[in-house]
Structure 1
Amino acid sequence: MRFLLLVLVCFTGIMILGSSCSYKQNQLLFQKRTATGTTTEPAPAIIYRIQPQDVLQIRNLQNIRYIVDEVPQTSIAQSQSGNNISQGQTYQVEEDGTVALPVIGHIQVAGLTRTEAAKLIEDLYRKKLLKDPIIELKVVNLKVTLLGEVKAPGNFPLLKDNTTLVEVIGQAGGLTPQANEKNIQIIRGKDKSQQVTEIDLGDLSSISDPRTVLQNGDVIYIAQNKRAIRSENLQSFNTWAQPALLLLNTALIIFTLSRQ
């Protein structure tokens, strides 16, 4: 009986100590290569073309009077993403693919790249109104959604071309210690066209992997690693096991004392 009591006391102590152990991050990012001595081809440029309902942020870097209000207004993209966007008035592309701009009126921009649309607007303002304008154009409603084991999950705007997975994770503050860095999922498309791409950030070649170049609407999910799952399972077991063991220990102590 005394031996059984000693075993239960020791087991309870181990459970309590195990549940209070600190969890250390031991992720290994960009450590291995897919093949020694080989190089990865650079990621091909993914060029986005403007679509109806897109929100364009436009300003003239030479003269802001005709493009930007003196007090920049809150854009649609700002209200949706919660991110502050640099000075510049926003304009929404209509269903017919046109955007209405001051003085020059409606112009067709759907199907154009960001650079092509900026050049078109620049040429029209140069012909009709401005001297040597320099037009900056951004599509500010493009975004990806980052979920799971990152320090600041949420929606992140794609304000530049060829934004990569590593860049967005950096914007989110990096991975948490519980993240599975070897299996990060990029979910792209909807319904039957939906695709899931798995990325291993433990592989150095993932930095230049063309599959990590993000597109509008991508959902990135970072699951927990096995270490974190085991830790959570242990915590769950301890939640009900510790009270039961303590109750059993108390009962055994009372029973032992009563026999003496």
Structure 2
Amino acid sequence: MKKKFFTIVALLFLLLQSCTTKKNMLYVQDLDKFSNSTLNYAATKIQPNDILKVDISDLNPLVSAPFNLPTASNTNNSVDMMKLSGYLVTPQGNITLPVLNEVNVGGITPTMAEAKIKERLISEGYLVNPTVMVRVLNNKFTILGEVKSPGVIPFTEESISLLDAIGLAGDLTYSAIRKDVKLIRESNGKRLIYHIDLTTASWMSNPDYRIRQNDVILVTPNKLKVNSGGLITDPIQVLGIIASLTVLILLIQNN
């Protein structure tokens, strides 16, 4: 009887080893080491299929009116409606503006696009001192895998932090591997893949790890989740199953 009991205890111990440990669960465990570290930001560049809002103004609204798309006074100014009336960036990186026609903005930042459009307005003799505003309307990222709410998530900022993105997806699940979150980005015709360890804070100062338009975040499940075929999603479930099996075996042995 004792031999069988110790066998059960040993089996219980081995199964517990597969459960997620505190070291693998906690975010940025060495955060204090990176206190007061310098923050760096990388400006987002305009990509094909971006939808841009371009506003051109002047001291005299009548002078700048031909360079803007006409808008009705009762138009719904929601983001979705603005997307329908925005400027779609072609695969070649061009947008077509009233009067100016094609302007190439692909691969440059919105600020650089503003300067480029302003320079054309002045150099071609249309306006003397215009104000130009360019903004990307369809910022979004995709997050898949071990998060509570996977999917395509829009955001209004130029870029957001990786922790912001995870928060928008409802946080990672217990089964997520936090030491190897993958970030996929398409930039200048190339696909870049980053591997990020969320248990350390060393990545937080890297501007490449800020989430930008069209980024994809992949969160891989741990071995327990994979081996269970997705049936077990929480380590607490494992403990409950093990405890129930142990009690059942002991009852059978006692009878």
Partner of 2:71: 69
Query: 5+ unaligned residues in a row in structure 2: which ranges?
Result: 13-18
Question: What corresponds to 1:31 in structure 2?
Answer: 29
Contact conserved, 1:145 with 1:218, CA < 8 A, in 2? yes
User: What's the CA shift string for 1:14-37, capped at 9, x where partnerless?
Assistant: x9xxxxxxx99974222225x957
Q: Does 1:224 align with 2:221?
A: yes
Structure 1 residues 61, 182: closer, same or farther in 2, change over 3 A? Answer: farther
Aligned to 2:210: 213
DSSP-derived class of the 2:141 partner = strand
Radius of gyration: which is bigger?
1
Conserved 8 A contact 1:182-1:199: yes
Q: Could you tell me the TM-score, scaled by structure 1's length?
A: 0.58
2:55 to 56, 59, 63: 59
Structure 1 partner of 2:112 = 116
Give the counterpart letter for 2:216 in structure 1: V
Alignment of 1:6-17 (within 5 A): none
5+ residue gaps, structure 1, are: 16-22, 75-83
Kept after mapping to 1: 8 A contact 2:158/2:212: no
Q: d(CA) in 2 for partners of 1:111 and 1:226?
A: 40
> In 2 relative to 1, CA 122–167 (structure 1 residues): closer, same or farther, beyond 3 Å?
farther
Q: Kindly tell me: are residues 68 and 150 of structure 1, through their superposed partners in 2, closer, same or farther at Cα, counting changes over 3 Å?
A: farther
Q: Pick closer, same or farther for the CA change 1:128–1:208 going to 2, 3 Å.
A: same
**What secondary structure sits across from 1:155 in the alignment?**
strand
1:137 counterpart = 2:134: yes
Secondary structure of the 2:179 match is strand
Distance of 2:49 and 2:185 partners within structure 1: 20
* 1:141 CA drift (Å): 4.7
* Deviation for aligned residue 1:147: 0.6
Map of 2:199 onto structure 1: 202
Q: CA deviation at 1:107?
A: 2.8
Matched letter for residue 184 of structure 1: V
1:104 partner letter? L
Q: CA deviation at 1:226?
A: 6.0
- Does the Cα contact within 8 Å between 1:148 and 1:221 map onto a contact in 2? yes
Q: Distance in 1 between matches of 2:90 and 2:226?
A: 48
Out of 165, 169, 186, which is 1:168 matched to? Answer: 165
Give, in angstroms, the shift of residue 165 of structure 1: 1.5
Match of 1:43 among 37, 40, 45: 40
Which residue number in structure 1 is paired with residue 16 of structure 2? Answer: none
User: Which letter maps to 1:206?
Assistant: W
Letter in 1 for 2:54: I
Give the TM-score of the pair, scaled to structure 2.
0.59
Q: Distance in 2 between matches of 1:207 and 1:85?
A: 32
Aligned-pair CA distance for 1:172: 2.0
- Asked if structure 1 preserves the Cα contact closer than 8 Å seen for 2:95 and 2:104, the reply is yes
What RMSD, in angstroms, separates the aligned Cα atoms of the two structures? 5.0
Structure-1 separation of matches of 2:38 and 2:56:
36
CA gap of 1:114–1:148, structure 2 versus 1, over 3 A, is same
Distance 2:138 2:34 in 1: 41
What is the rounded CA distance, in whole Å, between the counterparts of 2:100 and 2:140 in structure 1?
29
Describe the shift of the 1:208–1:52 C-alpha distance in structure 2 as closer, same or farther (beyond 3 A). Answer: closer
Contact 1:60 1:67 (8 Å CA) reproduced: no
Contact 2:51/2:136, CA 8 A, preserved across alignment? yes
- Structure 2 CA distance for partners of 1:52 and 1:185, relative to 1, 3 Å: closer
For residues 115 and 230 of structure 1, the distance between their equivalents in structure 2, rounded to whole angstroms, comes to 49
Change in CA separation of 1:86 and 1:151 when aligned onto 2, cut-off 3 Å? farther
Identity %: 27
Q: Is the counterpart of residue 156 in structure 1 residue 153 in structure 2?
A: yes
